[in-house]
Structure 1
């Protein structure tokens, strides 16, 4: 059975219509805040899980906002007469945002209905901006699992991966940004707020068209849209290097390329490796490249070593594994994503078998998911941190990511002698926990815990706890250690020799912040 052809998209060369439609949507309070107020938190959250019934129950009235939710989010036709005073109806029909779905087709027929040709989801920007993410029908309120789409070029809207990448991205002002595999354009939309020039690429021409619609409807500057795979669209260009590269690539490790948005078409995790390794040649000095990725856990190989081998020369890296799934969990996740669980049981079993055959052939026992950040430093000894952190974090993390690399630079520039001459401050919202048996005179160990950002927790010894507790930026590290040595009856020289490694760890992980060295 052949897939149904994808419906025609609204015209991307009508900024006047996009502007008037945007004004009408905002006038009706069709925004992230308006949606939450109308639907309530449970129905609003259900939409993110691809469940539309609660939202349908909450939009039974005929207020402008309820009609717009039914029209643009829930794929429900709405009587033309009810929209005449809400939307620039004729312009939206003529330019393809809406289509007639019933009645005689005459504009004066109040019984005629109109339907949306694309989904439009309100999306709140980081500074309260009212944005709109355009996607294919049925793709605005969750992943493809909510629609069971079999169209190879289907373009999804906002998902958890999209918002995760947007949250971890460093948001300093830059001259140029590259959104690799732009999809619905959410990363390009964010980048347009702090980059003078935004280039967005995608193998799927339909995705580029939808990105143009997303930017126009959100009132953002247009991007330079280029069709092609990975870095091919910008190879050989005079301006082919960037201050920021972001990508939520088709990272799924699958036995074939069925869906363009998720299946990269390369074997195993080769696509993610190619995206990461290729970034080095396209980054300006000091520039960041930030990706979401999946990677294989292969028998007989440390996954951390695998990822270290991906890091291009001249780049520092911070790689965080957020989740690991065994091969059966992973296969089931993406089979459901494509709606295969709703197909014939024999067909589902055959597809499941193909996934497991692929993993068995590659000796893959599990798949990791996480974040990869590169920073072009050209340092003689690059810093490559690969860690597992499955615990809750506080988004957005862009400032946390930037601060990590700034601390790496500081540590690289200060040997142990310079470190001991420097002073530090305890980072904000760090608390100390003492763990031990009730009634014991001394704790078994002391834990420092962050209340923000990565929300790390780290064990420290008595010296480390005492040192961190008095760091307020006024005394050098060496003077603090001398005082601790006197209190503990230790030799100051020995304490100065053995403590810098612990201080470096506390700085690297963000528990301590270096201040101006004591002169």
Structure 2
């Protein structure tokens, strides 16, 4: 069945580019709004296999049995429950087979992802079934862009869902293990993997239980992080029976036991902001012993906005239960002392440092995706920033080529109010500099040791070289840790 389905999809040229070309910009914009009308208008009465596949899957529309049979191995797919006869006698799809593609270091990767159909198409609101299998979402694409793209020997896709992270991992991991507790997930993720001829070791079980004795070079996870009250039906793709953010804490604290030396765990997460301690202190307590931890808060919501977001996501907008469910969530947050919810990224690294690096920060500003390369370089940069003064001064550093200087000030003023060096890739950080620091960093082209540059700039400014070293080195360490330099080679 898998081979026949793959052949049919390839024969119809059912790829991201051909689908977008067929439904046009208006059709794609409509689907982004969960509206199929523009795409339906673009397809009209087209009965070609490509049009049939678009109608059946992304648009979730019924088609005639003759059109389905011309496009797909109809009988085999019906036997597997991937197609069925609808109430009107036409063929409909209880699953979504969606073309998916992404760029790799080797070029374009094209394939397909199997999941449940998109809920709420054409604004039809209805509660989502508990074992619903989410397709490719903004969260899953964000995690894929965050994931380091270095070649690794082994990778774990923890809570695989539709299996999209495993597809990305297949481009740079020799072995892939994927886990989940939802039987329907395991069924559809298996089809996704086999359809794309990707070898994935799928295992049934919660969190790290299925890999109790295994270690990996890379762990990626977009876990069910939504903090919802214990009452009511839970949606497996987003909720568990853990209290508040207990699941995320267990993912983070348990990661070190499943990481090889130098291994990295990357988590898309929500966490509770409570009134009893600063959120930075609370999350610092999650850091596994001996591991580096980097937390970036991208967004923060108050309980009201958070509740409305996830009740709507569950298809309860306009449902009679809306008000009662809203009150349950509010009471739950009040009971737990949750006054806000942080949303962002957590990276754990088995760095083997005697003194681990724990960095927790808010960064709601624009970033340059993919961010994976910047995250991969983090350990190298932190190590470089911890070099001794003598080692730093003897090292030849090179400022990244994407760093630009920006000056800001009052129009017409003789001198700018301040000068910053801004990154145009990665987190796009900005570092405010004065004349001395700007001169030193601007001269870092990899040709001279840092100490020589500082002394030369001090001479130009008629300043004491020793004093300038004392003043500038702390900020240069910050610039190293924040990735302002290209592959810094330290004179160890």
TM-score (norm 2): 0.94
Q: 1:98 maps to what in 2?
A: 83
SS at structure 2 position matched to 1:129: strand
> Does residue 162 of structure 2 align to residue 198 of structure 1?
no
Per-residue deviation, 1:99:
2.2
2:8 to 14, 17, 24: 24
**Deviation larger for 92-101 or 349-358:** 92-101
Matches within 5 A, 1:19-418: 19-62=3-46, 63-101=48-86, 113-127=90-104, 128-139=108-119, 148-221=126-199, 223-235=200-212, 237=213, 240-256=214-230, 258-344=234-320, 347-412=321-386, 414-418=387-391
CA distance in 2, matches of 1:126, 1:149: 35
> Does residue 393 of structure 2 align to residue 420 of structure 1?
yes
For each residue in 1:10-47, what CA deviation from the matched residue of structure 2 results, as whole angstroms up to 9, or x when unmatched? xxxxxxx2122122212222111112212223432442
CA distance in 2, matches of 1:122, 1:409: 41
CA distance in 2, matches of 1:249, 1:407: 28
CA distance in 1, matches of 2:424, 2:186: 40
Per-residue deviation, 1:137:
3.0
> Does residue 441 of structure 2 align to residue 468 of structure 1?
yes
For each residue in 1:142-170, what CA deviation from the matched residue of structure 2 results, as whole angstroms up to 9, or x when unmatched? 9xx97634311111101010011111011
Per-residue deviation, 1:226:
1.5
Per-residue deviation, 1:219:
2.5
SS at structure 2 position matched to 1:513: coil
1:432 to 400, 405, 417: 405
For each residue in 1:319-358, what CA deviation from the matched residue of structure 2 results, as whole angstroms up to 9, or x when unmatched? 11110111110011001001111201xx211111111111
CA contact 1:294–1:367 (8 Å) conserved in 2:
yes
| Structure 2 residues not aligned, in runs of 5+ | none
- Change in Cα spacing, 1:430 to 1:247, as seen in structure 2 (3 Å) is same
Q: 1:5 maps to what in 2?
A: none
CA distance in 2, matches of 1:234, 1:447: 47
CA distance in 1, matches of 2:103, 2:170: 12
CA distance in 2, matches of 1:146, 1:399: 40
- Change in Cα spacing, 1:340 to 1:139, as seen in structure 2 (3 Å) is closer
CA distance in 2, matches of 1:389, 1:348: 33
CA distance in 1, matches of 2:74, 2:262: 48
Per-residue deviation, 1:174:
1.8
Per-residue deviation, 1:91:
2.9
SS at structure 1 position matched to 2:288: coil
RMSD: 2.1
SS at structure 1 position matched to 2:91: strand
Aligned residues: 486
SS at structure 2 position matched to 1:175: strand
For each residue in 1:342-385, what CA deviation from the matched residue of structure 2 results, as whole angstroms up to 9, or x when unmatched? 201xx211111111111111221110100111111121011111
TM-score (norm 1): 0.89
Q: 1:107 maps to what in 2?
A: none
CA distance in 2, matches of 1:248, 1:147: 25
1:503 to 430, 452, 476: 476
Per-residue deviation, 1:130:
1.3
**Deviation larger for 431-440 or 93-102:** 93-102
CA distance in 2, matches of 1:517, 1:381: 19
SS at structure 1 position matched to 2:218: strand
| Structure 1 residues not aligned, in runs of 5+ | 1-16, 104-111
CA contact 1:139–1:156 (8 Å) conserved in 2:
no
CA distance in 2, matches of 1:507, 1:376: 20
CA distance in 1, matches of 2:124, 2:431: 40
Q: 1:449 maps to what in 2?
A: 422
CA distance in 2, matches of 1:479, 1:421: 8
